[in-house]
Amino acid sequence: MVTAAIWPALDYSRVPYRLYHDDEIYAREQERIFRGPVWSYLGLDSEIPEPGDFRATWVGDTPVVFNRDKAGAVKAFVNRCAHRGALVRRELSGNAKEHICIYHQWCYGLDGSLMAIPFRRGIRGEGGLEPSFEMRRHGLRPLNVDNINGALFGTLAENPEPLEDYLGPPILHQLRRFLDRPVRVLGYNRQRIRGNWKLYAENTRDNYHASLLHEFLVTFGLDRSTQTGGVRMDARHRHNITWAEADSDTDELAHEAYAGAGVRNDFLSLKEPSLVAFRPERGDKLNIAITSLFPSAVFVQISNSLAVRQIRPRGVGEVEIFQTMLGYEDDPPEMTLHRLRQANLVGPAGLVSMEDGEAIEIAHRASRPDLDRTTVIELGGGGVISDRDYRVTDVPLRGFWSYYAELLGIEPEGAVR
Amino acid sequence: MTADHTRVCDLLAEYGALIDLGKFYEWLDLFAEDCRYQILPRENFDRGLPAALVYCDSRAMLEDRIRALREANKYNIHTDRHVIGLPRILDDGLAVEAPFAVYQTDQEGETRLFATGLYRDQLEISGPRLKIRDKLILLDTFAIPSLLATPL
């Protein structure tokens, strides 16, 4: 049984490999995190515009359906029949008047309540359920649902912290900026990575790796650590925004900075430069804004490509990254085309993201034999966890681990938060 | 003017072989000057959604993809093996569909099925050769194993 003694350092600058590989820890994460007090991203309001529209998703390992009921309200529930535990809704999306389990045809309404059971009274007075069977006690298990500008979140906690408090002011501000107009789904993509889900959660908070692993960023001049940027967290440091501003450095500065970094710094140019051209869409210069929410959602703006990533754990050694590509409803066709072109940057084939799949797999593979050894998280220094106005840092990883330790009940006495 | 079955098969065979040999710049020469190449998850195609995994709507973008692969991107060290099925030649003889499977083998000899799907090609005749004007790769295996770097 893992305890607070697992941590060699009270500032989470050392993370034991065991946390990525242990089945018992994985089971505890499912219970204490995903089925615990967190809010998980479910999907988008615009994905279920009409009454009866539904989508299936996951909260950790738990299958979930969200739908719009007849009155127009969004409801979400565990996608598991109260009778024998089978998946009720097998399709990933669609429109339905009710949800019927194929196994024994138990029928649930759009609010998740159990509406009908075949042969409830038996046949010719024989068999069936006892008259005392209470239908209302056997509905689909509901989630609490809330939304931020059309992004739907759900939680299995019965008395959750309000969503806005859970996110905190800087994150809320960023999500409202990202979702300042109604969005339109341009498509989905999925990636199965043979690595623990937390390696991906860390990756999205790790500003340090970006321009080193993803050489395209520097080689083709899209993003460099010499730009003005940094990391900003909520008060509990469980979420993070990695941000950078366009055109905020010079080639000379970048050339000098990358000279010793093992990354080619001769800045090639593209034959089709619009692939990396940033078109400002609002009154700020942010061209990189990666908002990582604990535990498993990432709202990503890279130049004009917009996406929401959902981190879906698939056991201790595999994770699916489910990504929804977005534009705005009022985008003119030419802007939609620009976003479809810039979709080349992200996702499993992304010019500035494909490497993450490989980095996570090699970290997972090599760390496995030595469970008591640790990673080193010290870029930007150890000790206090705080916002930084520079980019060569991985401080937000320590914020992630701090809240993780709290939820798992393994927070050491005197640890930083 | 129509393309005959043999020339279509030759083009498809060349297409798979050049990728499997890692001859990406030669592979580019199979495309027309004015061309489009996209890898579309079947999940999106079935819902009428346009976002592709790779979307190059000009020869320049396709060249940039290949140059990035060569000069900047890092990916799983592997070899590809294309197994391309018999083509269906449609309409005017320049619209072609062919099923494909791509296996990946790592450095230690372990092979896995990486992708299967359908090529939907629009060809054009360029002197003695056929060239690809529009290639839509409908990807059945849209839960990408690890990552997608080398072309399908």
Q: What is the pLDDT of residues B45-76, one digit of tens each?
A: 999 999 999 999 999 999 999 999 999 999 99
Other beta carbons less than 10 A from residue A123's beta carbon: 8
Residue A285 sits in a domain of what CATH number?
3.90.380.10
Query: Cβ distance A62 to A78 under 8 Å?
Result: yes
Q: Touching check for A277 and chain B: CB below 8 Å?
A: no
The predicted structure's pLDDT at residue A259: 82
Q: Which chain B residue's Cα is nearest to A318?
A: B146
The predicted structure's pLDDT at residue A262: 74
Burial of A194 (0-12, 13-18, 19+ CB in 10 A): middle
Distance from C-alpha of A291 to C-alpha of A242, rounded to nearest angstrom: 6
Please report, in tens digits, the pLDDT of each residue of chain A (417 residues total). Answer: 899 999 999 999 999 999 999 999 999 999 999 999 999 999 999 999 999 999 999 999 999 999 999 999 999 999 999 999 999 999 999 999 999 999 999 999 999 999 999 999 999 989 999 999 999 999 999 999 999 999 999 999 999 999 999 999 999 999 999 999 999 999 999 999 999 999 999 999 999 998 899 988 888 878 888 999 999 999 999 999 999 999 898 888 888 888 877 777 667 889 999 899 999 999 999 999 999 999 999 999 999 999 999 999 999 999 999 999 999 999 999 999 999 999 999 999 999 999 999 999 999 999 999 999 999 999 999 999 999 999 999 999 999 999 999 999 999 999 999
Residue A34 lies in a domain: no
Pick from B62, B60, B137, B40: which is nearest to A325 by CA?
Answer: B40
Please tell me the distance in Å from A333's CA to the nearest CA on chain B: 12
pLDDT class of B93 with cuts at 50, 70, 90: confident
The predicted structure's pLDDT at residue A230: 96
Distance from C-alpha of A243 to C-alpha of A228, rounded to nearest angstrom: 8
> What is the mean predicted confidence (pLDDT) over B121-148?
96
Instruction: Kindly tell me the sign of the dihedral angle through the C-alpha atoms of A18, A20, A24, A29.
Output: positive
Among A199, A271, A305, A310, the strongest candidate for a mutation testing the B interface, having the largest count of B CBs within 10 A, is A271
Residue A5 lies in a domain: no
Domain B5-139 architecture: Roll (3.10)
Residues A224 and A308 in one domain: yes
B63–A271 CB contact, under 8 Å: yes
Residues A128 and A274 in one domain: no
Q: Touching check for B1 and chain A: CB below 8 Å?
A: no
Contact residues on chain B for A183, CB-CB shorter than 8 A: none
Residue A162 lies in a domain: no
The predicted structure's pLDDT at residue A250: 87
Write the CB contacts of A310 (distance below 8 Å, at least 6 apart in sequence). A41, A57, A58, A296, A297, A321, A322, A323, A324
- Is the bond into A295 cis (omega within 30 degrees of 0)? yes
Query: Cβ distance A289 to A243 under 8 Å?
Result: yes
Domain boundaries, chain B: 5-139
Residue A249 lies in a domain: yes
The predicted structure's pLDDT at residue B2: 60
Q: Which residue has the tokens 């999907």?
A: A43
The predicted structure's pLDDT at residue B1: 52
Distance from C-alpha of A30 to C-alpha of A26, rounded to nearest angstrom: 6
Residues A181 and A232 in one domain: yes
Instruction: Kindly tell me the sign of the dihedral angle through the C-alpha atoms of A59, A64, A68, A69.
Output: negative
pLDDT class of B30 with cuts at 50, 70, 90: very high
Q: Touching check for A264 and chain B: CB below 8 Å?
A: yes
Distance from C-alpha of B2 to C-alpha of B92, rounded to nearest angstrom: 6
Q: What is the dihedral of CA A19, A21, A23, A25, to 10 degrees?
A: 0
Distance from C-alpha of A93 to C-alpha of A125, rounded to nearest angstrom: 39
B144–A192 CB contact, under 8 Å: yes
Q: Touching check for A249 and chain B: CB below 8 Å?
A: no
Q: Residue B42: is its pLDDT beyond 90?
A: yes
Residues A310 and A387 in one domain: yes
Residue A76 sits in a domain of what CATH number?
2.102.10.10
A325–B51 CB contact, under 8 Å: yes
Q: Residue B124: is its pLDDT beyond 70?
A: yes
A190–B142 CB contact, under 8 Å: yes
What's the ipTM?
0.96
Contact residues on chain A for B142, CB-CB shorter than 8 A: 189-190
Write the CB contacts of A171 (distance below 8 Å, at least 6 apart in sequence). A234, A239, A241, A291, A293
Distance from C-alpha of B51 to C-alpha of B139, rounded to nearest angstrom: 13
Contact residues on chain B for A356, CB-CB shorter than 8 A: 147
Write the CB contacts of A235 (distance below 8 Å, at least 6 apart in sequence). A168
Residue A255, Cα to own-chain centre: how many angstroms? 34
Q: Touching check for B53 and chain A: CB below 8 Å?
A: yes
Among A351, A356, A364, the strongest candidate for a mutation testing the B interface, having the largest count of B CBs within 10 A, is A351
- The structural domain count of chain A equals 2
Q: Touching check for A195 and chain B: CB below 8 Å?
A: no
The predicted structure's pLDDT at residue B3: 65
Domain limits for position A73: 40-148
